[in-house]
Chain A
Amino acid sequence: MEGNQQLRRQLAAMRQSLFDQGYLDEQFIQLEELQDDANPSFVEEVVTLYYRDSARLITSIDQALEKSPLDFNKLDGHMHQFKGSSSSIGAKKVKAESTQFREYCKAGNGEGSRRTFQQLKKEYATLKKKLEAYFQLARQAGPMETASGRK
């Protein structure tokens, strides 16, 4: 159906822009490669799990940043975990901010850490909104071929 084809074109364009604008990297394609008829919502499930699980790390870091003096080892430990999860879904900008945060922690720079964390939370929230819109459109468009060519 023509309407469906248009939705699929919109979906493909939305997906491409997420890569072009640097929100996602090639790790996201690894997730898509694992999606098939037996696991038709795999990518959305993994992303949902990521946001659910990483929320506690965000809270822990927020709380740790309110303490004085800052425990940079603890902060770095939380961010190491957060960065690992973010990398596994291909969250490119979030991962970059995580790396920057860890640099500031290693340098014992509290102001830099706080500033970077605010930026990280913005990127994290922006990606969440974009992916929610993407998955909503994907559901409307129905099953389609993934990057690997499998449905």
Chain B
Amino acid sequence: MSGGSSSLGNVSRISALIVDDDPVIRKLHSAMLKSLGIQFQLAVNGKEAVDLYRSGANIHIVFMDMEMPVMNGMEATKELRAMGVSSIIVGVSSRCSDEEREEFISAGLDHCYAKPLTVAKIKSLLEGIKY
């Protein structure tokens, strides 16, 4: 497993969470994080993500899909922020309208990007994470 670039520091201590109901996106984003040497967990909907936090998971950055069954990304983000979660939450959406994007951001995101992400984008998000 690669150790990541020196600009990211000791990346093996960064932990991430990928939340997406699309297995293709989960596989793609997993491979991107793996290529950067980042530890990660997977959740298939917002409820699984919230449950992970409730069970005490220590996560630095969350990649949150918007539309998912059971609990969507907006609901999950609101729930996590209400729980006092201060992890970086990055919205990942294929919704294009500014209105939908703004609504997702106002739920408590730190950033919002179109899916799928790229390695370069993930790298820029990881720089400066305090762990």
Contacts and interface: CB of A to CB of B under 8 A. Distances in A.
Given A31-B28, A34-B35, A46-B28, A88 B116 contact: yes
B32 A89 contact: no
A6 interface: no
Interface string A72-84: 0000000011011
B94 interface: yes
B25 interface: yes
A53 interface: yes
A34 B32 contact: yes
Nearest to B30: A34
B109 to A, nearest CB: 18
Contact of B67 (A27, A38, A50, A80): A80
B116 A87 contact: yes
Contacts of A85: 22, 24-25
A89 B25 CA distance: 9
Contacts of B32: 34
A85 B26 CA distance: 11
Interface residues of B, number: 17
Given A33-B119, A80-B94, A49 B35 contact: no
Contacts of A89: 24
A53 B94 contact: no
Contacts of B115: 84, 87-88
Nearest to B20: A84
Contact of B22 (A27, A38, A45, A53): A53
A114 to B, nearest CB: 24
Interface centre among A34, A39, A53, A83 (most CB of B within 10 A): A34
A29 to B, nearest CB: 11
Nearest to A90: B116
Nearest to B93: A84
Contacts of B31: 34, 39, 42
A34 B28 CA distance: 9
A84 B67 CA distance: 11
Contact of B28 (A36, A53, A88): A88
Nearest to A33: B119
B28 A84 contact: no
A49 B116 contact: no
Interface string B1-45: 100000000000000000000111101100110010000000000
B118 interface: yes
Given A80-B95, A85-B25, A88-B22, 9 more contacts: A30-B118, A38-B1, A45-B27, A81-B22, A84-B22, A84-B94, A85-B24, A87-B94, A88-B116
Cβ-closest 3 pairs across A and B: A84-B94, A34-B31, A88-B116
